Amino acid sequence: MTNRSIFLVGPMGAGKSTIGKLLAAELKLPFADSDKVLEDRTGADIPWIFDVEGEAGFRRRESEVLRDLCTGPTRVVATGGGIVLSPENRRQLRKNGLVIYLQASVDQLLERTSKNANRPLLQVADPRSRIIELVEERDPLYREVSDIVVDTDYCTPRQAALMVAERVAPGATGQ
């Protein structure tokens, strides 16, 4: 097993938070969700931060959280979908951990995010087109930073977590 943190990257709806919690339990590591850490620090939810500070303000705060999560104990970290937009964030991810890209089809991403109003970038008239646009922009960046790519379309979160655990720490899952 790696002694570096494991960072999960991918689009919103790929399962980073859900799979991350299961993976952390499987590997007996602490879990952190960068968006939750950001909300806890600011005392505000992400849509509110977007409304008040705009995306640029949110991204600045997100980078600060990532810098802090790159230090300290080894853990599993679910990152926000746009964490890879910053070249400095991509450098931090590659330098400080093992990066797992959780990918999913546009249909799956749309289905998984359709009932969640806590996603400011999807509060548009045509969420499908927005997801396509985000994936086209970010997929090359996710691939640039990732050590491992896992498709989450045709498996449960538990199955995805076990697949990642087996690739990160062969034999750790007892399978």
Q: What average pLDDT does the segment 115-119 reach?
A: 57
pTM, whole model, 2 decimals?
A: 0.88
Residue 71: which pLDDT band, with cuts at 50, 70 and 90? confident
Domain ranges of the chain: 5-166
Assign a CATH topology to domain 5-166.
Rossmann fold (3.40.50)
Q: Which residues are annotated as a binding site for Mg(2+)?
A: 17
| Binding region | 13-18, 35, 59, 81, 119, 138
User: What is the distance between the alpha carbons of residues 5 and 20, in angstroms, rounded to a whole number?
Assistant: 12
Q: How far apart are CA 161 and CA 46, in angstroms?
A: 26
Binding site as annotated, residues for ATP: 13-18, 119
What is the model's pLDDT at position 119? 54
Look at residue 2 in the predicted model and tell me its pLDDT: 46
CA atoms of 99 and 143, how far apart (whole Å):
10
**Residue stretches of the annotated binding site for substrate:** 35, 59, 81, 138
- 142-163 average pLDDT score: 93
pLDDT reported for residue 13: 84
As a whole number of Å, the end-to-end CA separation of the chain is 16
Contact 106, 14 (CB under 8 A): no
Question: ∠ CA 45-131-124 to the nearest 5 degrees?
Answer: 60
pLDDT at site 147: 95
Res. 28 pLDDT band, cuts 50 70 90: very high
Distance from C-alpha of 80 to C-alpha of 69, rounded to nearest angstrom:
13
